[in-house]
Homo-oligomer: A and B are copies of this chain.
């Protein structure tokens, strides 16, 4: 990523400190701003949460965050009071390193559940990371690698705009759900911008962006204990978002960055052979539409039909039927990769071999139209992967 424009005022580091056994793999990352940031978070809906989520929830929204520290290899979840103390200590160590208050440092952990963090290694790693902090794209990539568990590639996305001669930027790094591990597939993302926005604006922008991105993907429906998306805005570009157009522009950049990252997560879902895009049109309520899409995306019989390149529309239609959303079957039509297979509640004659061969190319598009008015913002788009024997093998290997 040589010509990646990064937001001003941020520095990154990713180092190996020994949480992971493989010394070639970074396992501790820092994201540091040279000035206070407006910072907000969106956290897992799971009632069982990792210690870092407890700490970050208490510290956001904030107008003074300076850094985020992330370790991979150990989720620090289901670790009781000592886990919370360890998470707090991580932030205290970073605070000393970057000369901040510890309340202005956020923390994320991802990896195995139910084990205490190796704090000696973590402490050492924070020292190492501080020594190599830089604003380069290479450092950002190392920081993105330091978040990875079973991801096969680092995930970074960026958008810039020219605001009357000032370049403003939104850049995000995330780790996804590669689903090899015997652990949860935690989703973590840090999104940074050098536009100045306050925490209230940031909160509204991030919530919307997450709904249209990370909340619109699913590999297997298992909500992790540690899912976290953070948005940090440090204003280092010198430009605040003041007009409605500017705020809309930031919202759009943040949403696009989150959507790019979310798509990378699905493309990196291990064991997957198909990238699946589910579009729901003709329903006025986006939440209803997303609920139907999620039910199809997570249905084992839907996923395995796609695995087998089988345009078995009965599975998709009946999954919509058990999604708990009201609709009129006689208004429902379904296209698979551009071919109408079900129309107004009845089967239609179509070329099954053609549709199957299009599915076999690896990208599957399910377009469901429920016959009503579509939300002005367009159809809901939900991304998922298929379910393969390889997924089962990867996730059932005995590794405890």
Contacts and interface: CB of A to CB of B under 8 A. Distances in A.
Contacts of A300: 220-222, 300, 387, 391, 395
A312 B396 CA distance: 10
A309 B80 contact: no
A46 B322 contact: yes
B113 A318 contact: yes
Contacts of A243: none
A314 B77 contact: yes
A345 B182 contact: no
The interface size bin for chain A is 35 or more
A223 interface: yes
* Interface of A (DSSP majority class): loop
A347 B400 contact: no
A318 B356 contact: no
Nearest to A183: B314
Nearest to A348: B114
A400 B301 contact: no
Given A387-B300, A392-B307, A398-B309, A80 B184 contact: no
17 contacts: A46-B321, A47-B320, A47-B322, A47-B325, A78-B317, A184-B315, A222-B300, A222-B322, A223-B321, A223-B322, A225-B314, A304-B391, A309-B398, A310-B396, A310-B398, A389-B392, A391-B392
Most buried by B among A184, A320, A398: A398
A305 B80 contact: no
Given A184-B318, A322-B47, A397 B80 contact: no
Contacts of A312: 182-183, 400
Given A225-B314, A225-B321, A307-B396, 19 more contacts: A45-B322, A47-B327, A48-B317, A78-B314, A78-B345, A78-B347, A79-B346, A113-B318, A114-B342, A221-B299, A222-B301, A223-B318, A223-B322, A225-B318, A304-B396, A308-B399, A309-B398, A311-B400, A388-B392
Most buried by B among A305, A326, A395: A395
